[in-house]
Amino acid sequence: MRYRKLGSSDLEVSEIALGLVYAIGVEVDLNRRCIEAAFDAGITFFNTANAYGRGAAEEALGNILSQHRRDSYVLATTVWGQMSDDETDRGLSAAQIAKQIDASLRRLRVDFVDLYQAHRFDPDVPVEETVEALQKVVQQGKARYLGFSEWTSEQINAAIEIGGPELFVSSQPQYSLLWRAPEAEIFRLCARHQISHVVWSPLGEGVLTGKYRPGQAPPPGSRAAGELRTSLMDPLMSERTLQAVERLRPIASGACLTMPQLALAWVLRRPEVASAITGASNPGQVHANAAASAVVLSDDVLEAVDEALGDVPVTGQRLAPLAEPGVRHRD
């Protein structure tokens, strides 16, 4: 496992991270075995969110990580999502951030998180209020560094104008062989401010694993076949996209890689990317994904990948459901 510096911070994160998203039916023992496999593979970066299972993911992760030394892992969580049936129990107001960081720390069984991220932007709250509240979390020692996920360039610049160039150390965008939108603007903007990227869905919601075949129904028990399927998967499951992914098989085989390893190594080819967040349904997947950290793709392989995919990758629009891009300031 290789490690990269996270933005302007002093954090060293494993190139492959393990994300924990709580889902009904996921066994506690399986989560534990996957996390232990992550440590065995050299993965030391764990990412979750307070909204996953409305705290259930944080609690599950905290129970397992409590068996490990606090200095043996880097821990990241987020704030923004709906946390109860109360419609106001969400967002990035000062009161909400203050409440949610304490709740997250309690569930995670730690005194601080290494990285506290705004899961999305909140256009209903003045950006000054959000920035000041996040800075207060750091000042109180409850988080070491700050990050954001899926903010627009306008939102990033507005926050930095208030909090200064060292406000954020990380961005968490969706990025994969099939989703290259951050390359158009966000990568360059963040590089100017020494903000690294911790990318989510590097395997294209599982499509880049090769488990979904053109002309065939999704395998039983897979995300696309069950209740965990979301609207994010719809454009990725088109017959055209699946046929393009199918053309990656001989390229991966020729490079002695699995399909997931090819996809992860492709993401990690960018120096702007500090880590790729992966999930796992068994310990074997954890070890297989971790092996991608040691892979350097040749120019020939990269050219073959681009030729195989053609114009399938999305580069200019947004797939993830986001808040309105406007920035609200104090009157």
161-203: pLDDT as tens digits? 999 999 999 999 999 999 999 999 999 999 999 999 999 999 9
pLDDT digits (tens, 9 = 90+) for 254-278: 999 999 999 999 999 999 999 999 9
What is the longest distance spanned by two Cα atoms in the chain? Answer: 60
Q: What type of residue is 105?
A: L
Q: Active site includes 52?
A: yes
Q: Could you state, in order of their start, the residue ranges of all structural domains in the chain?
A: 3-206+270-295
Q: Are 16 and 290 in contact (CB under 8 A)?
A: yes
pLDDT in tens, 273-296: 999 999 998 999 999 999 999 899
Q: Does 49 have pLDDT greater than 70?
A: yes
How many whole angstroms separate alpha carbon 131 and alpha carbon 93? 10
Catalytic residue among 22, 52, 116, 212: 52
Q: What is the pLDDT of residue 232?
A: 74
- DSSP annotation of 295 reads -
Which pLDDT belongs to residue 234?
A: 79
pLDDT tens-digit map of 78-95: 999 999 999 999 999 999
Give me the DSSP letters along 150-216.
S--HHHHHHHHHHH-TTS-SEE--B-BTTB-GGGGTHHHHHHHTT-EEEEB-TTTTTGGGT-S-TTS
Q: Quick: pLDDT tens for 116-134.
A: 999 999 999 999 999 999 9
Residue 315 pLDDT: 62
Q: Which CATH number fits the domain 3-206+270-295, given the four candidates 3.20.20.100, 3.30.360.10, 2.30.110.10, 3.30.460.80?
A: 3.20.20.100
The DSSP bridge pattern shows strands 12-14 and 3-5 to be antiparallel
| Percentage above 70 pLDDT, the chain | 94
* C-alpha–C-alpha distance, residues 201 and 38, integer Å: 18
The mean pLDDT of the chain is: 93
- Report CA-CA distances (Å) from 21 to 50, 63, 280: 10, 14, 10
- Give 304 or 25, the one with higher predicted confidence: 304
For residues 326 and 198, what is the distance between their CA atoms, to the nearest angstrom?
Answer: 24
Continuous H helices in 205-319: 239-246, 249-254, 259-268, 283-290, 299-309
Kindly report the pTM of this predicted structure: 0.94
